[in-house]
């Protein structure tokens, strides 16, 4: 009893000292979930007039700061006060919003406190219909090996994962071996970007392929490796449903690489037709090899080879798929051929998958 009475003043003092900080963090967290609470509150929103995204500090007696700082995954920048009606409003650029949505962790720094902005809160406010309502799963790991141009081995602490980049196909998978081909180029580009780096992996709807590899958009700091490989011309777009979250970005970057003849598109014979332009008309049916299928998913037995003229990235390039190929069952046929020679004579090149 004597010991308890001696400790009571000390416990009371500790409660008094720590209570304001605990209350402050609790109030900020509660507001992020849409629960009313007294004192300064932080909210995310979109201006109905301008469409700009913003961060607002509001509430009874809320302070108005000329600037506040934001930090996401170690990258820090300053926001300037936009207006002060109904609290302090700080507008964000589109690039800032993209960075925040793709980040693993974001924090708002005020002069007297810092507020963690949960990923679910950010996605709920700004993701929009194209990204889906919920924040995707994100994993952090260390690259321990670069397997090929779009596959890496990542240490996640308790386990290692083979990770395949979503939405891209590499030079080696695309071109048949030839004396002119340099298969190491795309591998070297990938190694340059990720070797021994800490990476952030954003998953999509389908988390693994049929080989058990983890499928991800891979980031080093704020740079998405998948997108950077396409931008450099070290990879082309390969869309596989349902993982299409960043497809529009990839298509735009590939067209930029085509137009500037980077990497894969440095060969003058490669098509550079914009994705919005229809391909030139094909030769009339009577002068062509193969047959038009009745069911685009299934070629007739005498002509089992599938020819596909409409690719994900446009340009009118024809690719033929053999029945034992990886992409055969997932490919719609625009033309069916009896032999590889027939497909080649009709202008098709071999699929590398």
The string of DSSP codes covering 290-346 is SB--SBTTB--TTS-EEEE---TT-S--EEEE-TTSTTSTT---SEEESSHHHHHHT
- The domain ranges of the chain are 2-126, 138-266, 273-353
Report yes or no on whether pTM surpasses 0.75: no
172 with 166: CB under 8 angstroms? no
In sequence order, the 6+-apart residues with CB closer than 8 A to the CB of 125 are 44, 45, 46, 53
**What is the predicted pLDDT for the residue at 269?**
61
In 3D space, the residue among 152, 147, 144, 141 whose CA is nearest the CA of residue 199 turns out to be 141
- The SS3 assignment for 57 reads strand
213 is catalytic: yes
66 with 60: CB under 8 angstroms? no
**What is the predicted pLDDT for the residue at 228?**
95
- Residue 231 φ then ψ, to 5°: -60, -40
Catalytic annotation, pick one of 56, 119, 164, 231: 164
288 is catalytic: no
Q: Which CATH number fits domain 138-266: 1.10.760.10, 2.40.50.90, 2.40.110.10, 3.40.50.1370?
A: 2.40.50.90
158 with 69: CB under 8 angstroms? no
**What is the predicted pLDDT for the residue at 124?**
82
- The SS3 assignment for 175 reads coil
**What is the predicted pLDDT for the residue at 39?**
54
d(Cα 286, Cα 291) in Å, to the nearest integer?
10
Distances (CA, A) of 317 to 203, 270, 279, 310, 332: 30, 9, 9, 7, 14
183 with 172: CB under 8 angstroms? yes
Catalytic annotation, pick one of 41, 119, 172, 175: 172
Query: How far does the chain reach from its first CA to its final CA, in angstroms?
Result: 78
49 is catalytic: no
In sequence order, the 6+-apart residues with CB closer than 8 A to the CB of 217 are 165, 166, 167, 201, 202, 204, 224, 226, 245, 246
151 with 139: CB under 8 angstroms? no
d(Cα 340, Cα 15) in Å, to the nearest integer?
80
Distances (CA, A) of 217 to 167, 247, 250, 327: 8, 11, 11, 21
Catalytic annotation, pick one of 83, 107, 213, 353: 213
Q: What is the mean pLDDT of each run of 10 residues along the chain (353 residues)?
A: 44 37 30 44 83 84 88 89 86 87 86 86 76 75 94 94 93 45 72 94 92 94 92 92 90 92 78 43 54 87 83 55 81 87 82 67
- Residue 314 φ then ψ, to 5°: 80, -170
């Amino acid at each position: 009893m004597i010991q308890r009475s001696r400790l009571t003043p000390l416990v009371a003092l500790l409660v008094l000292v720590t209570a304001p900080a605990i209350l402050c963090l609790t109030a900020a967290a509660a507001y992020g979930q849409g629960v009313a609470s007294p004192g300064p509150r932080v909210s995310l929103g979109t201006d109905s007039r301008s469409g700009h995204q913003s961060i607002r500090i509001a509430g009874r007696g809320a302070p108005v700061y000329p600037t506040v700082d934001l930090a996401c995954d170690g990258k820090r920048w300053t926001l300037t006060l936009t207006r002060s009606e109904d609290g302090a409003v700080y507008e964000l650029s589109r690039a800032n919003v993209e960075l925040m949505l793709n980040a693993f962790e974001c924090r708002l720094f005020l002069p007297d406190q810092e507020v963690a902005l949960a990923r679910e809160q950010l996605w709920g406010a700004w993701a929009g219909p194209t990204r889906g309502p919920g924040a995707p799963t994100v994993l952090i790991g260390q690259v321990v090996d670069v397997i090929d141009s779009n596959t890496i081995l990542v240490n996640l602490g308790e386990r290692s994962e083979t990770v395949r980049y979503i939405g891209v196909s590499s030079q080696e998978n695309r071109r048949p071996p030839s004396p002119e081909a340099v298969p190491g180029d795309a591998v070297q580009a990938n190694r340059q970007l990720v070797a021994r780096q800490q990476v952030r992996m954003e998953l999509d709807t389908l988390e693994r392929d049929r080989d058990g590899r983890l499928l991800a958009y891979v980031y080093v700091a704020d740079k998405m490796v998948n997108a950077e490989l396409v931008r450099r011309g070290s990879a082309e777009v390969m869309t596989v449903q349902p993982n299409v979250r960043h497809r529009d970005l990839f298509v735009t970057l590939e067209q930029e690489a085509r137009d500037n003849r980077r990497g894969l598109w440095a060969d003058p014979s490669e098509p550079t037709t914009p994705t919005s332009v229809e391909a030139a008309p094909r030769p009339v049916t009577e002068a062509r090899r193969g047959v038009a299928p009745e069911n685009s998913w299934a070629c007739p037995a005498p002509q089992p080879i599938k020819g596909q003229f409409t690719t994900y990235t446009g340009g009118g390039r024809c690719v033929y798929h053999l029945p034992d190929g990886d992409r055969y069952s997932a490919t719609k046929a625009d033309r069916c051929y009896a032999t590889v020679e027939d497909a080649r004579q009709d202008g098709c090149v071999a699929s590398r998958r």
